[in-house]
Amino acid sequence: MSRFPRLAAALALLLLPATAFAGDVDAGEKVFAKCKACHAVGDGAKIRVGPHLNDLFGRIAGTADGFRYSPAMVKAGEDGLIWNDETLAAYLTAPRAFIKGNRMAFAGLKKDAEIDDILAYLATFSQSGNDDAASAEPAPADTPDTPNEDTAIAEAQPKADEPDDAVVEADAAAEPPAHGVFHLGRPATEAEIAAWDIDIRPDGAGLPVGSGTVLEGETVYTEQCAVCHGDFGEAIGRWPVLAGGYDTLTRERPVKTIGSYWPYLSTVYDYVRRAMPFGNARSLSDDDVYALTAYVLYLNDIVTDEAFELNQDNLATIRLPNEDGFIADDRHEEPHYAAGAEPCMNDCKPGKAEIAQHAAVLDVTPEGDGDEDGTGGGID
Amino acid sequence: MPDQPSRRGFLKGGLAAGAAIATATTAARAADDPAITEIQDWNRYAGPGVDAEPYGVPSPYEAHVVRRNVPWLTADPISSVNFTPLHELDGIITPNGLCFERHHAGIAEIDPAQHRLMINGMVDTPLVFTMADLMRFPRENHVYFLECAANSGMEWRGAQLNGCQYTHGMVHCVMYTGVKLRHLLEEAGIRAGAAWVMPEGADASAMSRSLPLEKALDDCLVAFKMNGEALRPGQGYPLRLVVPGWEGNLWVKWLRRLEIGDKPWQLREETSKYTDLLANGKARRFTWEMDVKSVITNPSPQAPVIHGRGRLVLAGLAWSGGGRISRVDVSIDGGRNWTTARLDGPSLPKALHRFYHAFDWDGSDLFLQSRAIDENGFVQPTKNALRAVRGENSIYHNNGIQTWHVAKDGVVENVEIS
């Protein structure tokens, strides 16, 4: 006994009070751009990643000639799922929820108007009688959104699922597909994940078991880091400065260090472990990285005890001074981006343009000898 | 078509330019041109055969068209940047060998047979893909610009580098072939509560960033081809992330891993770097989108005006991380008066757009500027407008209007003006 006709009827009852399926064919063609990678429609449409969609309305689910459907989709058809406005609308809203285990990768259309439009468009490729589809064809061009319908579909989903044991049974009875939609790739092993998953978050997620002291860190630092970063984190040449720079962020030449600028200590552990020392990454032990991180705290006067030990339990509890120094991206609220500002075209500024600054005078543009030195404002 | 030259004007201009190149003199009524009257070697002797260059290279006369770097910018060329020679290019597509590069530990030289892409974290099934696996997902082709967030970053404190290669050359635009990142993530099955993706590179910096899941599921690609051929090693061969419209640092090269999580990781490249320090000492973070921007590529300091007065063609590029460019205005008097330029070629969202503006130069000083407007109505601001709000320490996201001064002798310089 099929459950789908009842589901369709239930949906139809919910949907009918609204001006259902007054979709716009032209708009639907645009929405169909989201589907075209996998589905063909129209003259000569062939099977692609998904089945062709000619004569979709009235088609029993899972029956397009030549397409290898998921067991779940075949079962849905056997259980009586026939594609029409109601069933397609429900399917396109949440493909994976509507038929669990089916292979369509598409996440679903969020807007009901888009679903109406695409159904109107697809209906133009269906010969077989579908009253709803036929009535959708002469739809008005400007279909207003129908909030009632939104609510109806949103509510219909869970309600429809409840009495619909057959769907659940079909899912359980079907061969459980391998992972995913395309069944490509293979499961990663635990050892593989452990080998690559080295990232650390501010809350301490990902920290390995281990520890290291400031004194131990000094030894590693002197051997491995000081050549670029300097004995006290002051940096050699243009290598990054690691320490100091407090109260410089508003100055003309801010010194952005771990102590003065970085918001989270976890970033130090993560970065040193993944990328340092430069040119010999992944060569430090987890304990060495704890020790170096502790030493960098010491260089920045955030800890003062040489015996201080950093470990997986206390790293996330240490706060860096500039944690609160960051704000969200609000560029679009800047006055020069004020909405609707039409730019000036004529007589926009008084007087003739006068040169205020010459790049040529600085003479820092490379000419081949590489002797130039910039005045700052470089990338880093 | 206000920009269309008359046939007569075009012929005159063409003749003048030809004469200038041939005789290196001004365009007078020239003597007979030996380029025409004498038989040239290439007109007499047979040239190299089809086996001479299995992989074609540009003419030796184009040997100056190369990426360049600025040695003083960084501590070491291994972790540094080179710049696209925008002033030598036209159209909207950047040739693969001229796409600027920014590496953080040099170029990873990867055997594609040994390359793997792992998806782990908040997924139903952590997966490993080979390159061959990835080729079996639905492929897509898209043209996108990639701009480093630090492009024009050297100009915050004033005119510094003399050439659009240096001021604006951390941008390129190619056609990518790849698969939707969404397909890969959904293959592993995204768990409820997931909100972030961490792409990670296989290079010796293990480049990594936090990317909102919403963007990852929207238009991101995992690409293996650029302009039809395999990615260049410096562009992430064999696999890179494509994050349309967003800063280049997110486009992780040599992509080997995607971790799904519920919070951002606060990695070095999104805290210490790629955060925009404001005058008040606070810094903006997660400033991903690239703002509306344009630059006149010709003439520019490395491409002076060599033909004297008369017909002068301005050429330039415009782009916006928000979508398409709807209009570009140009000024020849330093922003006092503006004329809308002619956009030409494909207008693709989050891709470079090419614009031209032609006029008769009277030989007086010019202050060339361009101002782009994107489809969302955002207008490219002046550098001073940006400085007024942000100060001069932002490094990143400088999309201010560029000024080139063209002197009477045709020499072009990067300047700041009143």
User: Would you say residue B345 has pLDDT above 80?
Assistant: yes
According to the model, what pLDDT value does residue A5 have? 45
Is some CB atom of chain B closer than 8 A to the CB atom of A46?
no
pLDDT averaged over every residue in chain B: 93
According to the model, what pLDDT value does residue A12 have? 43
pLDDT digits 0-9 by tens, B48-88 = 999 999 999 999 999 999 999 998 888 888 889 999 999 99
According to the model, what pLDDT value does residue A172 have? 53
B81 contacts A179? CB cut-off 8 A: no
CB atoms within 10 A of CB B374: 24
Contacts of A340 in chain B (CB under 8 A): 377
Structural domains in chain B plus CATH codes: 7-38 (no CATH), 86-284 (3.90.420.10), 293-414 (2.60.40.650)
According to the model, what pLDDT value does residue A128 have? 57
Residue range A194-317, CATH number: 1.10.760.10
Give the rounded distance of the alpha carbon of B338 from its chain centre: 25
* Residues A48-59, mean pLDDT to the nearest whole number: 84
Contacts of A271 in chain B (CB under 8 A): 267-268
Distance CA B16, CA B36 (A): 15
pLDDT digits 0-9 by tens, B178-225 = 999 999 999 999 999 999 999 999 999 999 999 999 999 999 999 999
The separation between the first and the last C-alpha atoms of chain A, rounded to the nearest angstrom, is 68
According to the model, what pLDDT value does residue B238 have? 98
Task: Check residues B46 and A40 and name the one with the higher pLDDT.
Answer: B46
Measured N-to-C along each axis, helices A214-224 and A286-299 cross at an angle, to the nearest 10 degrees, of: 100
pLDDT digits 0-9 by tens, A147-165 = 443 433 333 344 434 444 4
* Inter-CA distances, A130 with A11, A61, A74, A126, A332, Å: 16, 15, 22, 8, 48
Among B164, B165, B246, B336, the residue to mutate for chain A (most A Cβ within 10 A): B336
The candidate with the shortest Cα–Cα distance to B381, out of A289, A276, A334, is A334
Paired tokens of B248: 């280049």
The owner of tokens 């009632």 is A148
A374 contacts B128? CB cut-off 8 A: no
A374 contacts B70? CB cut-off 8 A: yes
Contacts of A207 in chain B (CB under 8 A): none
Question: Which span out of A371-380, B74-83, B247-256 was modeled with the highest average pLDDT?
Answer: B247-256
Which residues of chain A form CATH 1.10.760.10? 4-173, 194-317
According to the model, what pLDDT value does residue A369 have? 44
The complex's ipTM works out to 0.90
The candidate with the shortest Cα–Cα distance to B80, out of B64, B49, B102, is B102
* Residues A34-48, mean pLDDT to the nearest whole number: 78
The owner of tokens 């005078």 is A361
According to the model, what pLDDT value does residue B34 have? 95
Residue A260 φ/ψ, nearest 5 degrees: -95, -20
User: Would you say residue A136 has pLDDT above 50?
Assistant: no
The owner of tokens 């995913």 is A180
Query: What residue of B is the nearest CA neighbor of A336?
Result: B381
Fold of A4-173: Cytochrome Bc1 Complex; Chain D, domain 2 (1.10.760)
B415 contacts A337? CB cut-off 8 A: no
User: Would you say residue B325 has pLDDT above 80?
Assistant: yes
Distance CA B332, CA A49 (A): 53
Q: Are B372 and B293 in contact (CB under 8 A)?
A: yes
pLDDT digits 0-9 by tens, B223-246 = 999 999 999 999 999 999 999 999
Contacts of B120 in chain A (CB under 8 A): 188, 193, 196-197
Which residues, 6+ apart, have CB-to-CB distance to B20 below 8 Å?
B26, B27, B306, B307
According to the model, what pLDDT value does residue A303 have? 97
According to the model, what pLDDT value does residue A173 have? 54
pLDDT digits 0-9 by tens, B263-296 = 999 999 999 999 999 999 999 999 999 999 999 9
Using pLDDT thresholds of 50, 70 and 90, give the confidence band for residue A100.
Answer: confident
Contacts of A375 in chain B (CB under 8 A): 157, 160
The candidate with the shortest Cα–Cα distance to B348, out of B91, B86, B3, is B91
Using pLDDT thresholds of 50, 70 and 90, give the confidence band for residue A33.
Answer: confident
According to the model, what pLDDT value does residue A16 have? 40
B187 contacts A326? CB cut-off 8 A: no
Percent of chain B's residues with pLDDT above 90: 90
B338 contacts A184? CB cut-off 8 A: no
Query: What residue of B is the nearest CA neighbor of A375?
Result: B160
User: Would you say residue B14 has pLDDT above 80?
Assistant: no
Using pLDDT thresholds of 50, 70 and 90, give the confidence band for residue B10.
Answer: very low
Task: Check residues B129 and A7 and name the one with the higher pLDDT.
Answer: B129
Is some CB atom of chain B closer than 8 A to the CB atom of A338?
no
According to the model, what pLDDT value does residue A372 have? 52
Which residues, 6+ apart, have CB-to-CB distance to A137 below 8 Å?
A25, A120, A123, A124
DSSP character string of A147-166:
HHHHHHHHHHHHHHHTT-HH
Contacts of B148 in chain A (CB under 8 A): 379
According to the model, what pLDDT value does residue A161 have? 41
Residues 105-164, chain B: which have Cβ within 8 Å of A?
105, 118-121, 124-130, 133-134, 136-138, 140, 148, 150, 153-163
- Worst-scoring range by mean pLDDT, A14-18, A300-304, B101-105, B311-315? A14-18
According to the model, what pLDDT value does residue A31 have? 85
CB atoms within 10 A of CB B347: 15
Is some CB atom of chain B closer than 8 A to the CB atom of A127?
no
The owner of tokens 């970033």 is A267
pLDDT averaged over every residue in chain A: 80
The owner of tokens 């940006």 is B386
According to the model, what pLDDT value does residue A138 have? 40
Distance CA B87, CA B99 (A): 13
* Inter-CA distances, A347 with A343, A355, A360, B296, B337, Å: 12, 18, 29, 21, 6
